[in-house]
Amino acid sequence: MKSWNCIACGKEIEVEDDYEPQYCCDGRDCTCMGQPVNPAFCDECETKIFRQQALQQEPEEKGK
Ligand SMILES: [Zn+2]
Ligand SMILES: [Zn+2]
C-alpha cells in the first residue's frame, strides 16, 4: 500500500502499490471532466458517492 489523496476531499488514504490514476482524456468536450476513470476515494467519500449513485438509479415512483 502507498499513501494517496482522496480526489474528493484531499484526505490522505492508502491505495494499492500499483495504483495509478488513469485518465480518459483532458476533459475537453467529454463528460469525464478530466477526472481519472478510476478515482481514489477515502471510505467516507466512497460511501457518499455510492449512495448518490444508488439514489440516482432509484426510479422515482413514489413522488406525490
Ligand atoms: Zn474523501
Ligand atoms: Zn474523457
Residue 31 Cα to ligand 1 midpoint, Å, equals: 21
DSSP code at position 31: T
Band (pLDDT 50/70/90 cuts) for residue 18 is very high
Query: Which ligand is closest in space to the CA of residue 39?
Result: 1
Residue 62 Cα to ligand 1 midpoint, Å, equals: 32
Query: Which ligand is closest in space to the CA of residue 24?
Result: 2
DSSP code at position 38: S
Residue 60 has pLDDT above 80, yes or no: no
Query: Is the Cβ–Cβ distance between 6 and 45 less than 8 Å?
Result: yes
Residue 8 Cα to ligand 1 midpoint, Å, equals: 5
Query: What is the pTM for the complete model shown?
Result: 0.70
The domains of the chain are located at: 2-57
Here the cell at position 46 is 466512497
Band (pLDDT 50/70/90 cuts) for residue 56 is confident
Residue 33 Cα to ligand 1 midpoint, Å, equals: 18
